[in-house]
Amino acid sequence: MSEMDFETQMRSIAQRINYPHTPDIAGRVMSRLRRFPSPTGRGVRGEGRSRFISKGWAWSLTLIVVLLFSLMLIPPVRAAVLEFIQIGIVRIFPRPTDTPPLETPRTATPQSFAPVTATPYLESSTLLVDLSRLAGEKTLPQAQSLVSSYYPILLPTYPRDVGEPDRVFVQDADGAMTILVWFDPNDPEKVMLSLHIIPEGSWAIRKSEPVTIEETLVNGQRAVWAVGPYPLRYSNGDIDFTRLIDGHVLIWTDGNVTYRLESNLSMEEAIKVAESLQSLP
């Protein structure tokens, strides 16, 4: 085997190593920064504090926290620090402790606000129940007519044969939220893609500690890629409901509109879909 072959093989094999799941480092670091450490600096394992933190380091941390809090009083700085967990109306909350993610959906779902998800790992029967309970189904022209004063309904042109959505819903979430659903052509009982178009002022959508959160770009604008499972919570202060999302979600904004694309696609493919959105002819 030549040196080049050996190097190529080593590189190829090395890429296949199974790493442990990356914990929520960012969330735990932020949590540590928000809290004053104890004077001894001895951390408690599992609460986001180090096992081997030194006394000197504890005092350094204290100074950092004081500095952070001081900076957080300045609105632009506060916005910059928090920016990475907020996109459009979607807020991503890191898990504050080692609480395991939800294993079953918790539903306090009002009939008229049942969410649509294109969760690839959900059983189709579950999904169809959700769709059948979903209020506000419209035809595409009806939906366009309803929301046209707020935003245009954009449809993907990638993949080329994606076509028009199979189901269209417009729901009042303190703003006319449009949900477009495409079924898998090979298995019409499964959802292939869903696109939420959410205007400013709608209910806040919150997700807590997805397995993966990654910043990326859609049309050169900041976007967030999140991989489940994670609880997704819709709320407007009076009513809220939570359910478990197990799919991959790309979130981005365009002006005052937030887009949320849920699919079982890779991030790269999801970005292609997002960047292919065009107005209805």
Q: Which residues bind another protein (CB under 8 A)?
A: 1, 3, 5-7, 9-11, 13-20, 22-23, 25-26, 28-30, 32-33, 45, 48, 50-52, 60-61, 64, 84, 212-215
Of 26, 53, 24, nearest to 38 by C-alpha is 53
Minimum distance, C-beta of residue 243 to another protein, in the bound complex (Å):
24
Q: How many CB atoms lie within 10 A of CB 144?
A: 17
Closest to another protein by CB, 33 or 146? 33
Minimum distance, C-beta of residue 18 to another protein, in the bound complex (Å):
4
Minimum distance, C-beta of residue 40 to another protein, in the bound complex (Å):
17
Compute, in degrees rounded to 10, the torsion defined by CA atoms 195, 201, 204, 205.
10
Closest to another protein by CB, 190 or 207? 207
Closest to another protein by CB, 1 or 108? 1
Minimum distance, C-beta of residue 53 to another protein, in the bound complex (Å):
8
Minimum distance, C-beta of residue 2 to another protein, in the bound complex (Å):
9
Minimum distance, C-beta of residue 84 to another protein, in the bound complex (Å):
6
Closest to another protein by CB, 28 or 243? 28
Minimum distance, C-beta of residue 45 to another protein, in the bound complex (Å):
8
Closest to another protein by CB, 60 or 276? 60
CA distance 265 to 233: 22
Closest to another protein by CB, 172 or 215? 215
Closest to another protein by CB, 21 or 160? 21
Closest to another protein by CB, 83 or 164? 83
CA distance 83 to 30: 13
CA distance 136 to 18: 44
Of 89, 11, 105, nearest to 256 by C-alpha is 89
Of 256, 247, 259, 252, nearest to 154 by C-alpha is 259
CA distance 62 to 70: 12
Of 203, 195, 181, nearest to 249 by C-alpha is 195
Of 43, 66, 69, 65, nearest to 54 by C-alpha is 43
Minimum distance, C-beta of residue 21 to another protein, in the bound complex (Å):
8
| DSSP assignment of 115-162 | PP---TTS-HHHHHHHHHH---EE-HHHHHHHHTTT-PPEE---STT-
